[in-house]
Amino acid sequence: MLLLSLFTKQSYANSVGLSYGQQEYQLALTDSTVVLKPMGSAVSLSLDLSENWLLDFNYQQWQDEQPFQQLSVVSLDSQTFGISVNYYVDNWSYAVSYSRSDVDTEVSSNRQQSNFRSEEIISSSIGGSVGYGLAKGNWFYSALVSSLYSEWDFDKQEGVTLLSEQAMLAPPIRVEKIAGNSTSLSTSVSVAHFWSIDAERGVLLGTLLSWHYLLSGDSVLISRNGRNVNASRQNTNNQRASANASLNTISGDDSYGQFSLYASYDLSPSWSIDVDSSINIASDYNARTWSISVGYLF
């Protein structure tokens, strides 16, 4: 069955998934903080290379636009592409991943086009993880430890309002460019239970508790580069971390946790529906996310 294939790898099985959901994104302005809630979709493709090797691709895009202080508009456009290679042996799973993300934000004035602020963060991340899963009857237990190294470029442009006599003395746009890197460590544990409805259908309910710690780098920029989707959704057969990109919550803290609930329903041996929700814990910014996805096994 499709759900049980997440835990026990017994035969070759490729899969494709499409999800839709919502994130929360915190944007710090000069005198206030704006919380955007971009909606978006994600698509994933998993290919069985052999009995022990799995290749995983995923792409996600998020967008939002909302008024700010009655005179301005804040917009966000985020895109992330990821690839991971997974290896399974007994109850153990190992994975390495790469992702690249591009996050564009803009604050524009409704009255004066010269008043604007645009930011772009382009980041590349390399991650690795080790997981262990155990099945006892219809109960499934798993643990995962992962690390992530990211390099980013931050470009900012800001329109400057000038008096007419100052226009020839200073440029109308301020430009800021910064580059850096960061390293983070994450751990997670998951518990799930499966209920069989009949020979072809079943329901899986589970929880996931994770903790993320920034070892080095700038947490503010990490909180705005979309994070590596592969770091939170290693698609191992013994690890039921949610397969949806929306659980990729965003935090500006150096250390924070995340609590997730997920449910999956098998429509047939090939089709399934998944629903996920998560919230940050022990964080100054308790972001909430949700998603719903459809998966097909072939």
Task: Tell me if 154 sits within 8 A of 178, measured CB to CB.
Answer: yes
pLDDT in tens, 64-76: 988 877 778 889 9
Q: pLDDT tier at 112 (50, 70, 90 boundaries)? A: low
The residue whose two tokens read 């397969």 is 243
pLDDT in tens, 161-199: 544 444 445 556 777 888 888 899 999 999 999 998 887
For residues 105 and 76, give the distance between their C-alpha atoms in angstroms, rounded to a whole number: 4
pLDDT in tens, 247-267: 333 344 568 888 999 999 988
SS (H, E, C) the chain: CCCHHHCCCCCCCCEEEEEEEECCEEEECCCCEEEECCEEEEEEEEEECCCCEEEEEEEEEEEEEEEECCCEEEEEEEEEEEEEEEEEECCEEEEEEEEEEEEEEEEEECCCCCCEEEEEEEEEEEEEEEEEEEEECCEEEEEEEEEEEEEEEEEEEEECCCCHHHCCCCCCEEEEEEEEEEEEEEEEEEEEEEEECCCCCEEEEEEEEEEEEEEECCHHHHCCCCCCHHHHCCCCCCCCCCCCHHHCCCCCCCEEEEEEEEEEEECCCCEEEEEEEEEEECCCCCCEEEEEEEEEEC
Q: pLDDT tier at 219 (50, 70, 90 boundaries)? A: low
Q: Which domain holds residue 147?
A: 4-297
**Residue 175, beta-bridge partner list:** 157
Which of residues 130 and 35 earns the better pLDDT score?
130
Report the amino acid identity of residue 282.
Answer: A
Average pLDDT along the chain: 78
Other C-beta atoms closer than 10 Å to the C-beta of 137 total 7
Domain CATH number, residue 159: 2.40.128.130
Output the pTM of the full model.
0.80
For residues 94 and 137, give the distance between their C-alpha atoms in angstroms, rounded to a whole number: 24
Q: How many domains does the chain have?
A: 1
For residues 270 and 217, give the distance between their C-alpha atoms in angstroms, rounded to a whole number: 43
| The dihedral sign for the CA sequence 212, 213, 215, 221 | positive
| The dihedral sign for the CA sequence 89, 91, 92, 93 | positive
Which of residues 7 and 17 earns the better pLDDT score?
17
Task: Tell me if 169 sits within 8 A of 160, measured CB to CB.
Answer: no
